[in-house]
Amino acid sequence: MPVRVALGYLLFVVYGSLVPLDMQPLAPGEAWRQFVDMRFLALGAESRADWIANGVLYLPLGLLVALALRRALHGVPGALLAWLFCAAVAVAVEFAQLYFPPRTVSQNDLLAEGLGSALGVACAPWASAWSERLLIAVRRRATDLAPRLIEVYALALLGFSFFPYDVVLSGQELSLKLNSDTWGWLWAPAHASRVLAALKWLAEVALVMPLGLWWAWRRKPSAGLALGGGLLLGALIEAGQFFILSGVSEGASVLSRGLGVLIGSTWLVGFTQGGTAALRSTLLRLVPWLAAPYLLLLLLANGWLRSPWQGADAARGVWSELRLLPFYYHYFTSEAAALFSLASVTLMYLPLAAWAWAGQWRPGRAAWLAAALALGVEASKLFLAGMRPDPTNVLIAAAACGLPLLIAQGIGPVMDGRSAAASPTALADGHRSAPRWLGWAMAAAAMAWSLTFPALAWAVLAVLGACAALVAWRPASALLLVLLALPIFDLAPWTGRLWVDEFDLLLLVCCAVAWARSPAAAPAARASLAAWPLLWVATALGIGTARALWPWPGPAGLADPLSPFVALHIVKGGLWAWLFARLVNRLRDSGAAVSTWIGAGMVGALAATVAVVLWERIAFTALFDFSADYRVTG
């Protein structure tokens, strides 16, 4: 296995070093003369990242070759032979680049590649010992497997965070960094698009969630400790990136790491306690609800709402200039930008791998699904002004979905054996929903928000407090209170609140407290078919809202009741309906008399509405005077 992996990576190194494969004829004697005369270039700070990236490219090659040779040749002889092989590859590749301009050949590249190979060879003993422990975990102790994999993931994440390692080396470079747009107390000015900055922030949250999960397995930290540890991790990473010339450092990323570790150590850990079978079941149940947001984020990240659409003539022009050679466009950018693009595309399509794993798909089938989706996304860029499709993204998407499943196939029987040993009771107990403290925190936040009302603030707070107390005593009473308040709890003429009103706060308090006070039921084996119509309704709401708010009307539109922001009222209604339906299902599963409480709430709401109608007729016209033009609002 190490031999095949080493050969595969060797082919990647050779191919990537010769792209764009534009071979030019050159006499062998002239090529040898140019190769012998190559010089050591005086590189500035702006070229340091590319120089270091050459060494990083050869580090895995030295590691893999050394591991492949360890069975036949141990110790110093094996390490020396591995380094000589990598050095020979570097020399051969640099010589071949003379035939593929505009590639640059220099002694700097050979030095970086030699140092990278040596570092990889030096890491081989540690990697070999770790791989042996991993194999033992796979064969004997399945409980140790996931932590071992997360340890490697953590090292890879830290390595990626500081790439390309072009460290600030002088006071002049530090001054240059201070005056650049690659750092900010909250957001770095280098982010031309706030949309992409927000997507990057969400990705950072997701990337550190496994670290919180690993911490919960090892030490079970409190929520405060997990948040503090995540913030400390984020501060260390961002401080390190500040001293990387090409790094982007911003305060928002500190918050994203803190939130990611907190979520991983509290919410994510619950999905792993029932074993593989329970985790697969949970993922399948979540697919209908997450598919629409995932597709919207995927299209958003690929420019659907950031670039104007263009016609077929412009699309044909883009197609005529498109190069289909894999990794062609990665050559015409820096190594740091190329790696960031590779990582970004991989993250875009990794959710498909999780879905395929939950559904127990074959790796080939999952890879074809990801490739088809990526092909559609890249083809749409033909019609987006300023965008260019990259055929390489189709290959990256297929690899991002197929390779994890290939790895999972190798370790799957062990993990499935572990989950098979778990009893149905253990699976039910292992299922966790949102932590209970989150419900109480949301209820407290809603009640605190009511104090910002310009009128009747204390009255609204009193109503919310009474509702919270009643729901804490009888969680099912939330159904009665929400339905009862729906037609009559409207104080907008006095408070003037349009976007978040008193009914929103009441519904949030009732649902949050009821959620915290009711037990979670075991997950169903498969997602309900009823979830799919709701999924498409959510998709329609998302598309409609995006069309209404694009182009962005600006914050001034919040003060206009007829602005495009009115679309948020419709989305808010859909969100509240979904939240209420989830609460109904949760209370039903816990054994509450849901129909009785809903019926009482609807009858009470009808009676209250009739009472308001009678009061309004008496106040503004005669009770039985139906000849007047006045009509009641009820």
pLDDT, one tens digit per residue, over 246-266 is 888 888 899 999 999 999 888
Q: How confident is the model at residue 601 (pLDDT cuts 50, 70, 90)?
A: very high
User: Are 209 and 268 contacting, i.e. CB atoms less than 8 angstroms apart?
Assistant: yes
Could you tell me which residue, 294 or 143, shows the higher pLDDT? 294
The answer, yes or no, to whether residue 452 has pLDDT greater than 90, is no
Calculated CA dihedral for residues 14, 15, 19, 20, nearest 10 degrees: 140
Q: Which residues contact 413 (CB under 8 A, 6 or more apart)?
A: none
User: Are 256 and 204 contacting, i.e. CB atoms less than 8 angstroms apart?
Assistant: yes
Provide the pLDDT for residue 361.
86
Could you tell me which residue, 602 or 425, shows the higher pLDDT? 602
Provide the pLDDT for residue 139.
57
CB atoms within 10 A of CB 384: 20
Q: How confident is the model at residue 149 (pLDDT cuts 50, 70, 90)?
A: confident
Question: What is the model's pTM?
Answer: 0.61
Provide the pLDDT for residue 537.
80
Span 456-495, pLDDT tens digits = 888 889 999 999 999 999 999 999 999 999 988 888 888 8
Provide the pLDDT for residue 531.
58
The answer, yes or no, to whether residue 420 has pLDDT greater than 50, is no
Could you tell me which residue, 493 or 141, shows the higher pLDDT? 493
User: Are 590 and 518 contacting, i.e. CB atoms less than 8 angstroms apart?
Assistant: yes
Could you tell me which residue, 419 or 340, shows the higher pLDDT? 340
Q: How far apart are CA 9 and CA 89, in angstroms?
A: 12
Question: Which range among 99-103, 210-214, 469-473, 564-568 shows the weakest confidence by mean pLDDT?
Answer: 99-103
Calculated CA dihedral for residues 297, 302, 306, 311, nearest 10 degrees: -130
* pLDDT mean across residues, the chain: 82
The answer, yes or no, to whether residue 427 has pLDDT greater than 60, is no
**SS3 call for 475:** coil
User: Are 263 and 229 contacting, i.e. CB atoms less than 8 angstroms apart?
Assistant: no
The answer, yes or no, to whether residue 417 has pLDDT greater than 80, is no
Provide the pLDDT for residue 600.
93
**SS3 call for 244:** strand
Q: How confident is the model at residue 69 (pLDDT cuts 50, 70, 90)?
A: confident
Provide the pLDDT for residue 554.
72
Q: How confident is the model at residue 201 (pLDDT cuts 50, 70, 90)?
A: confident
